[in-house]
Every structure is written in structure tokens, then in C-alpha cells.
């Protein structure tokens, strides 16, 4: 059975007090929700708050509530002022790292070659990867959405089978991120099924069936149940709604 995951990408938001209140609120609610071992709830705070968030997760939830960094560097160490190595994230007991997000691709010009190096560093340091892919509105309207996603996934398709098993895919159509516009359940299922087909072709049907594929892009309590009901949608990478404990908990309930 593949993992079901609800992950929150906080981006560059919240201060320490707000982060504490959010994690406390979510964890308190999680203690009253029946979650089995196949479900992971992931907090993705800004780097300075990773140790704080990790420390706030109660022992009863340490197998379920996990922490993701929003980035790591492509090199193991060196003169890269302001950067964070994957080994450093591992040192502070980080569980996941989010790579390939459209904002990193757009604002920091991250391409397939760089992302491949980042993924390799993450996996070498025992971090699981949430790897993002997705097309712009222009690309969807031009009918090249599948080609775009296929090209983005080539950044990880040289991984060994064992390494690929440590990767979660997050399909995030760029036109739905932070816009309030969400892909329809049918659009999400269509792309998720296509991604699973690509994985089967690259690796095997068994690996494809065991790969967790998340949907991201204006996920909120009002649409989570419909989205997560799709056969190939295994949860969500949540942006704005992950900053409010009540909203994030309602989205979590949609996966249970």
C-alpha cells in the first residue's frame, strides 16, 4: 500500500510564535484522529524553524507527523554563502525536502540538471524527496502539458529503483498555485494517471503502483475530499491552507 501524505509548504511565512501555535493546534487535533501507519502529515516550515517544529511534535506522533525542508543545496559543502546542505538537514532530523517547486524553477532558475544534483544530495543524506512538477496555463492551453511534465520528471528518472522508492511526486499546475483556481478532480486524475504511467514505463508497474503522487495548487477544505477521492491522487501538497491549523486539519481529515 502506497503512503497517503498531506504536506504543508509554508513558504516564507509565519514567525516562531505563529509556527508554534500552528504545530500545536494541528498535533492536538491529530491525537484525536485515527491515522494508520500509511499516512504521513508533513510540516514544511522555513529553514530557521525546522528544529522548533521538529521539537514540538509529541512522541505519540513521531511516526506520523514529520518535517520537510523547502530546499537544499546541490553540493555537499563549500563556499556557498546562505545555503543549506542536505547533510545539515539530516543532522537536525529533517524527514523530507521539497525540490522542484515552480517558484524555485521560476525565481531561482532551477533546471533539470541542478535539480538532479539536489535530489542526489538529499537521497545520499537519508532525506525523502517531494519532487514537484507542473505546467503553466500557457503550456496547458497550448496542449503541451504532458510534454512539460514528462520533461521535468527526467530530472529524477535516472535514479536507481531503490532511490526512486524514496521519492514522492507532487503535481502542481502552476496556474493553480496561490491563485485560488484549482484543477478539477478530472484534470488532476488525468495527470496523476499519466505520471504513474510514465513511472511504470521507466521502472515497473509495481514501483508505479507504490509511488505516492500528491496534488498541489489551491488545495483547501472545500475541495480536498473530491480531489483525494481520485484513484491516483494520494494526498496533497498544501500552500496557503497549511498556514491555518483548522484548515490544515480539515484537509487531513479528507485523506483519512
Can you tell me the distance from the alpha carbon of 44 to that of 17, in angstroms, rounded to the nearest whole number? 16
Which residues are part of the catalytic machinery? 101, 172
pLDDT at 85: 98
DSSP string, 76-137: SSSS-TT---HHHHHHTT--EEEE--HHHHHHS---HHHHHHHHHHHHHTT-EEEEEE---H
pLDDT score, position 56? 97
Averages of pLDDT over each 10 residues, the chain, 256 residues: 96 98 97 90 98 96 96 98 98 98 97 98 98 96 97 98 98 90 93 98 98 96 97 97 98 95
pLDDT (0 to 100) of residue 7 = 98
What are the residues facing 7 on neighbouring strands? 42, 237
Q: What is the pLDDT of residue 82?
A: 97
Looking at the DSSP bridge assignments, the partners of residue 44 are: 9
* pLDDT for the residue 253: 97
C-alpha–C-alpha distance, residues 18 and 24, integer Å: 10
pLDDT at 206: 98
Q: What is the CATH number of domain 4-253?
A: 3.20.20.70
Region at 178 (left for phi over 0; alpha for psi -120 to 50; beta for the rest): left
Give me the pLDDT at residue 34, please. 85
Give the pLDDT score at 178: 82
> Residue 182: what pLDDT?
84
pTM here is: 0.97
Place of cell 511534465: 149
* Cα of 204 vs its chain's centroid, Å: 22
Amino acid at each position: 500500500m502506497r503512503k497517503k501524505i498531506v504536506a504543508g509548504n509554508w513558504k516564507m511565512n509565519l514567525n516562531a510564535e505563529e509556527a508554534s501555535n500552528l504545530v500545536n493546534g494541528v498535533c492536538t487535533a491529530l491525537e484525536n484522529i485515527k491515522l494508520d501507519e500509511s499516512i504521513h502529515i508533513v510540516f514544511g516550515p522555513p529553514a530557521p524553524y525546522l528544529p522548533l517544529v521538529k521539537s514540538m511534535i509529541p512522541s505519540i506522533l513521531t511516526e506520523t507527523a514529520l518535517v520537510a525542508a523547502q530546499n537544499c543545496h546541490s553540493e555537499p559543502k563549500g563556499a556557498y554563502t546562505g545555503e543549506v546542505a542536505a547533510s545539515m538537514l539530516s543532522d537536525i532530523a529533517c524527514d523530507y525536502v521539497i525540490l522542484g517547486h515552480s517558484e524555485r524553477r521560476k525565481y531561482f532558475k532551477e533546471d533539470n540538471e541542478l535539480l538532479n544534483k539536489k535530489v542526489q544530495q538529499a537521497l545520499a543524506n537519508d532525506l525523502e524527496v517531494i519532487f514537484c512538477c507542473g505546467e503553466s496555463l500557457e503550456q496547458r492551453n497550448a496542449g503541451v502539458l504532458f510534454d512539460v511534465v514528462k520533461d521535468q520528471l527526467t530530472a529524477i528518472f535516472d535514479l536507481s529503483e531503490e532511490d526512486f522508492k524514496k521519492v514522492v511526486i507532487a503535481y502542481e499546475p502552476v496556474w493553480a498555485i496561490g491563485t485560488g483556481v484549482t484543477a478539477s478532480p478530472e484534470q488532476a486524475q488525468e495527470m496523476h494517471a499519466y505520471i504513474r504511467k510514465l513511472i511504470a514505463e521507466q521502472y515497473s508497474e509495481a514501483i508505479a503502483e507504490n509511488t505516492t503522487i500528491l496534488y498541489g495548487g489551491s488545495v483547501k477544505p472545500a475541495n480536498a475530499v473530491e480531489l483525494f477521492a481520485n484513484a491516483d491522487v494520494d494526498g496533497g501538497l498544501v500552500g496557503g491552507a497549511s498556514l491555518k491549523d483548522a484548515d490544515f486539519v480539515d484537509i487531513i481529515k479528507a485523506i483519512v
